Chain A
Amino acid sequence: AQSVAQPEDQVNVAEGNPLTVKCTYSVSGNPYLFWYVQYPNRGLQFLLKYITGDNLVKGSYGFEAEFNKSQTSFHLKKPSALVSDSALYFCAVSTAGNNRKLIWGLGTSLAVNP
């Protein structure tokens, strides 16, 4: 069965420090991987995706993610965190042939402290 794991419920970082939000996945076939961010009482905003090609994907708001096939991971990173990055982050995966349905992680709450 396909699944996504976000092993950390919460991540705390100081403003200006690098941040990492972890995601691992389990799929049969080639994965399509996505990161979304959710602010309070809002829908999810697309940040970036990995489909194929370079393992390092750059997205919105200075975020990037590294696809690691051997570790089945797709960790979200940012070199210098901002207080405004504090939000809920979701990793999701889909594969071709599954009606484009996304399988979601449970989310990681990121708190960036001033």
Chain B
Amino acid sequence: DTGVSQNPRHKITKRGQNVTFRCDPISEHNRLYWYRQTLGQGPEFLTYFQNEAQLEKSRLLSDRFSAERPKGSFSTLEIQRTEQGDSAMYLCASSAGGGTANQPQHFGDGTRLSIL
């Protein structure tokens, strides 16, 4: 399967700990997105990369959150000093580029974060 891959699938950690998630996009896709989804809600946009450049970051993303895509391939999302409210599903998506808005985003199965 050459879809979007996210690891780990589940993460349980104590409040105050740091966590890091990884996303491997579809190989030919140059755009990569992170979203957060809580139960009963649609995805909330967190941040977006085109190749290695982080082009947009949501105001929802506090300074405890950081994302990287160092070589324009895989990406990591780190949350420092986790809080109860960080418990959610973190989704990664990728899409082909080309300067248009009409390419569908393809999603991984997400990382479910539970803060104890």
Q: Which residues of A contact B (CB under 8 A)?
A: 32, 34, 36, 41-46, 49, 51, 90, 92, 94-102, 104-107
Q: Are B105 and A49 closer than 8 Å at their CB atoms?
A: no
Complex: chain A residue closest to B107, CB-CB: A43
Contact A46 B104 (CB under 8 A): yes
Count contacts between A and B, CB distance < 8 Å: 62
Decide if B48 touches A101 in the complex (CB within 8 Å): yes
Please tell me if the beta carbons of A104 and B104 are within 8 angstroms of each other in the complex. no
B109 contacts which chain A residues (CB < 8 A)?
Answer: 41-43
B41 within 8 A of A: yes
Q: Cα distance A26–B61 when bound, in Å?
A: 25
How far, in whole Å, are A43 and B93 apart by their CA atoms in the complex? 9
Q: Are A94 and B104 in contact (CB under 8 A)?
A: no
Q: A43-B91, A99-B56 are in contact. Are A106 and B104 (CB under 8 A)?
A: no
Q: In the complex, which range does the number of interface residues on chain B fall in?
A: 20 to 34
Question: Is there an interface contact between B48 and A99, defined as CB atoms closer than 8 Å?
Answer: yes
Shortest C-beta distance, A16 to chain B (Å), equals 28
Is B112's CB under 8 angstroms from A41's CB?
A: yes
CB <8 Å contact, A100 and B101: yes
Interface residues of B in 78-116 (CB under 8 A from A): 91, 93, 95, 100-110, 112
Question: Which B residues are in CB contact (< 8 Å) with A101?
Answer: 45, 48, 56
In the bound complex, what is the Cα–Cα distance between A102 and B112 (angstroms)?
Answer: 21
Query: Do A99 and B107 have beta carbons less than 8 Å apart?
Result: no
Interface centre among A36, A98, A102, A107 (most CB of B within 10 A): A102
B6 contacts across to A, CB distance below 8 A: 43
Contact A95-B43, Cβ < 8 Å, known A100-B48, A100-B95: no
